[in-house]
Structure 1
């Protein structure tokens, strides 16, 4: 029997749903976390070290599965939201999130619009800034006027495009090179690869939008612990897909960039360097297809933030206005949050104020600043999940066990190291 869907695309828990029809929120959170900068990181790692760091991408997927599962488990086990949980830990979490989300949103807005505009400007020509503004406004309209069901479908289409393009390219490059790929899982750390290894582990689909996963499963209609197994299936399928995608980028780096000894630029613009290599080796058709995949990757990240972080801000505001000791709900599941003033105001904040940064003509500075701010959030997420999932806030049967706790602690430490490294780069 297939899943029964309501008017908002929500699934009836009383039906026996087919698993593949339920995959959705996990694809959204994974696709949102894998942006153009993450593709460049894997591309550079493959270009410099060949297949020696393939294993790091696999470990990165496992880390993100643990984090996303913990976020989803808290929402389903408690019937609450992550921000309500943060608020129960003390006022420091509210202050942290309130300041962080404003600063991060301002910087990310410019970074996301730039990353989405780069392939469009390369494909169709013209100045980058109008393309960037157009991408931001398109995201604003799609998220602001649509609902979760439409948003999920658009992101899923973007994922399909980027998966076919990147994995297809990797297969093309690997036609006669399969034996060389297997060695990537057996080698250790090449000299000088420590930071790249940590970046690969930390960059496989991980940003503030990991915290939005719980809001997206609520928007899907999953509201209590009866959906726990479905959530875990959704999460694993999503990050397995992302893992294949990231591995494919390492293959592209090893087989194309490493083979010709090319130098790929840091940041989103590095994908334009790859476009040039593809054009020289395979012609314009394949390079144009790659640029379409590049756009799908960047624009899906933009849409995910425009929707997911705005939902978190709506919940933040609802809880901030609630009396002390009481919990408020942003009413994500019935679509009310997407029609609320805080949701729409934050959409405007992500779209229009960051346009000023586009005219500074400092894309590299934007990329570095975004990297620092992004890595600053994930240690906070890992630590607060440890506190919430090992307390009376979570029913005993759904609290974290030793394996989950160890994985959360290790990921928190990893992201802290990455933050320090990004901060050092900024200072330099």
Structure 2
């Protein structure tokens, strides 16, 4: 009996240690499960019904694939991706990658600041662009003194409550299973709007910022090549399972509740409508609280990502303890102040931001594939055929969706 108790204790300890070791990909998943993804999949579900469900499911699969490759590159190289590109391809390509990632990252920060200010106005009843200055100072202070973690924890709890409500909603409304099955079959109706929505959905999952950021996350945990298996599990659970459930649940809720009545998502209050079967009159308030938390918990890692990229290229210490790193974060805060001054709905701007971010993604996916197929670099940890197949598919799909988005927006192609 004692032996069984000891065995159970060892198993529980091993399981606890295993879950404590995981984490880098969950940071990426938390950023991916942000307001921009929520907006893009809600707008798509409301407008197209279940028709784009295949894009949502595919985005979760490709997110898992590309983030696992990013983890492998970070682990094998022992450095961030920009330093590795400089070692392998030289200074020019490192600058190109850094600028590519930086533009996408600061664009995201500006749009997220607009969303944060607008949501704060809805919550408080005080709509003013001056909220951006308050948040810029607050975030810079929290990052500088290391107090952001507890704020982030509170925000994640609020977001989890909202996601839980979406899950309960889907279980209650009993969506059309035959419609969902048809939505898993790839279809293209054409037009610039569909091109934008597809690029936005995919951009929320495989955005250049979070891909590059992940190479730094695994190094922050000091993972070595013995941890590649752990990285696979970490990424699978966080990106394919958790992010997949998040995306599919919100999409299905919008498709089932809004689409049949022709309700389009134009405001944050429209985003909350699918929750009314569960929350009733409290739907707007609870959703806005969760949405505000999602924006706040997403924008800060965006500022930090810009710091990672510049510090890596300039060979500074990649830490908020470095004054130069803090200066980059401060610069990002200043740039994001432009966001609330831009005209237009912040929901549509969030989708456009993801679509534009997708345009920079093929470069980083190509770099990951190139490095992980170099025998002299990856050695025995080179990609297997299945990872190359899925990685190649990721490169092809992201390129096609990005090119299609650009051509339709410029009027060169009707879609």
For the aligned pair, the TM-score class normalised by the smaller chain equals: 0.7 to 0.9
Structure 2, gaps ≥5 residues long? 1-5, 7-13
The alpha-carbon deviation at position 420 of structure 1 amounts to 2.2
Structure 1, gaps ≥5 residues long? 2-14, 319-329
The alpha-carbon deviation at position 189 of structure 1 amounts to 3.8
Aligned pairs (5 A) from 1:121-140: 121-140=121-140
- Kindly indicate whether the alpha-carbon contact (under 8 Å) linking 1:66 and 1:404 is maintained by their aligned counterparts in 2: yes
- Kindly indicate whether the alpha-carbon contact (under 8 Å) linking 2:40 and 2:351 is maintained by their aligned counterparts in 1: no
CA distance in 2 between counterparts of 1:111 and 1:249 reads 21
1:288 and 2:270 equivalent?
A: no
Number of residue pairs matched by the alignment: 391
Partner of 2:335: 353
Tell me how large the CA RMSD over aligned residues is: 3.0
Partner of 1:72: 71
Aligned pairs (5 A) from 1:12-411: 18-87=17-86, 88-146=88-146, 151=149, 154-155=151-152, 157-178=154-175, 180-181=176-177, 183-187=179-183, 188-189=185-186, 192=189, 195=195, 196-197=197-198, 199-204=200-205, 206-219=207-220, 221-239=221-239, 240-265=241-266, 270-275=267-272, 283-318=280-315, 332=318, 337-362=319-344, 367=350, 370-371=353-354, 373-392=356-375, 394-411=377-394
CA distance in 2 between counterparts of 1:272 and 1:343 reads 38
CA distance in 2 between counterparts of 1:310 and 1:182 reads 47
Higher relative contact order (CA 8 A, sep 6+): 2
Q: Could you list the per-position Cα deviations for residues 119-151 of structure 1 after superposition, in whole angstroms to 9, with x for gaps in the alignment?
A: 22111111241233333333222222218xx64
CA change 1:139–1:76 in 2 (3 A) is same
CA distance in 1 between counterparts of 2:199 and 2:104 reads 22
Q: Could you list the per-position Cα deviations for residues 30-75 of structure 1 after superposition, in whole angstroms to 9, with x for gaps in the alignment?
A: 2213332221221122213323433332221110111111111112
Q: Secondary structure of 2:320's match? A: helix
The alpha-carbon deviation at position 173 of structure 1 amounts to 4.6
CA distance in 2 between counterparts of 1:89 and 1:96 reads 11
Comparing 122-131 with 138-147, which one deviates more in the overlay?
Answer: 138-147
Q: Secondary structure of 2:335's match? A: coil
CA change 1:373–1:48 in 2 (3 A) is closer
**Between Structure 1 and Structure 2, which shows a larger proportion of helix residues?**
2
CA distance in 1 between counterparts of 2:274 and 2:16 reads 45
CA change 1:216–1:255 in 2 (3 A) is same
CA change 1:45–1:142 in 2 (3 A) is same
- Kindly indicate whether the alpha-carbon contact (under 8 Å) linking 1:31 and 1:301 is maintained by their aligned counterparts in 2: yes
Q: Secondary structure of 2:360's match? A: helix
Q: Could you list the per-position Cα deviations for residues 269-304 of structure 1 after superposition, in whole angstroms to 9, with x for gaps in the alignment?
A: x43432367679954422111111211222222022
| TM value normalised by structure 2 | 0.83
CA change 1:404–1:173 in 2 (3 A) is closer
The alpha-carbon deviation at position 156 of structure 1 amounts to 5.2
Partner of 1:422: 405
